[in-house]
């Protein structure tokens, strides 16, 4: 991975899941920012949003006041270039929970499931090189 690799932002209150998601994304060619709350993620988006290509967020992130769905909608509204992947161990989202174009994955997730969803979310030409090479 080089200094030209795109950034992903991982937001999850569970440290181990956050670390696992970052590792999966690093293997796919991203550099990662991470946040334990949606509020921290919003702060990072404000600072680095123009350089972030992917938001990977959990739905429930206590003790914050903002959910992952709210974070996803905020991101889509303010940084429409960012692909959004929402994960949860709970029920799938209902109508209007997620912004257009965002994808949902169930927890626990595997690296293969994440990579498959990344291929759907990121247009050709915007995928990190390891992800492009692994697409065969």
Of residues 42, 107, 40, the one with CA closest to residue 76: 42
CATH of 7-127, one of 3.40.50.300, 1.10.3720.10, 3.40.50.2300, 3.30.930.10: 3.40.50.2300
pLDDT, residue 18, reads 96
Distance in angstroms (rounded) separating the CA atoms of residues 46 and 86: 19
The pTM score is: 0.92
Q: What is the mean pLDDT of residues 101-125?
A: 92
Q: Which residues contact 21 (CB under 8 A, 6 or more apart)?
A: 10, 12, 56, 87, 114
Mean pLDDT of 115-122: 92
Q: What pLDDT digit, counting tens, does each position of 26-48 carry?
A: 999 999 999 999 999 999 999 99
Average pLDDT over residues 66-83: 96
Percent of the chain whose pLDDT exceeds 90:
79
pLDDT at 23 over 80: yes
Instruction: Please tell me the predicted confidence (pLDDT) of residue 136.
Output: 43
Closest among 81, 78, 32 to 57, alpha carbons compared:
32
The torsion region of residue 96 among left (phi > 0), alpha (psi -120 to 50) and beta comes to left
Triad 90, 96, 97: Cα angle to 5°: 30
**Residue 62 clears pLDDT 90, i.e. is over it:** no
Q: Where are the domains of the chain?
A: 7-127
């Amino acid at each position: 991975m080089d200094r030209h690799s795109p950034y992903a932002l991982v937001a999850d209150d569970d440290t181990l899941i956050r670390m696992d998601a970052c590792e999966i994304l690093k293997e796919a060619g991203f550099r990662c920012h991470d946040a334990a709350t949606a509020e921290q993620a919003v702060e990072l988006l404000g600072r680095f949003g123009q350089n972030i290509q992917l938001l990977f967020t959990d739905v429930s992130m206590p003790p914050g006041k903002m959910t992952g769905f709210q974070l996803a909608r905020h991101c889509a509204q303010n940084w429409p270039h960012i692909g959004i992947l929402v994960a949860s161990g709970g029920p799938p989202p209902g109508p209007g929970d997620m912004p257009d174009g965002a994808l949902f994955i169930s927890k626990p997730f595997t690296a293969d499931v994440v990579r498959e969803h990344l291929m759907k979310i990121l247009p050709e030409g915007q995928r990190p090189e390891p992800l492009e090479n692994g697409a065969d």
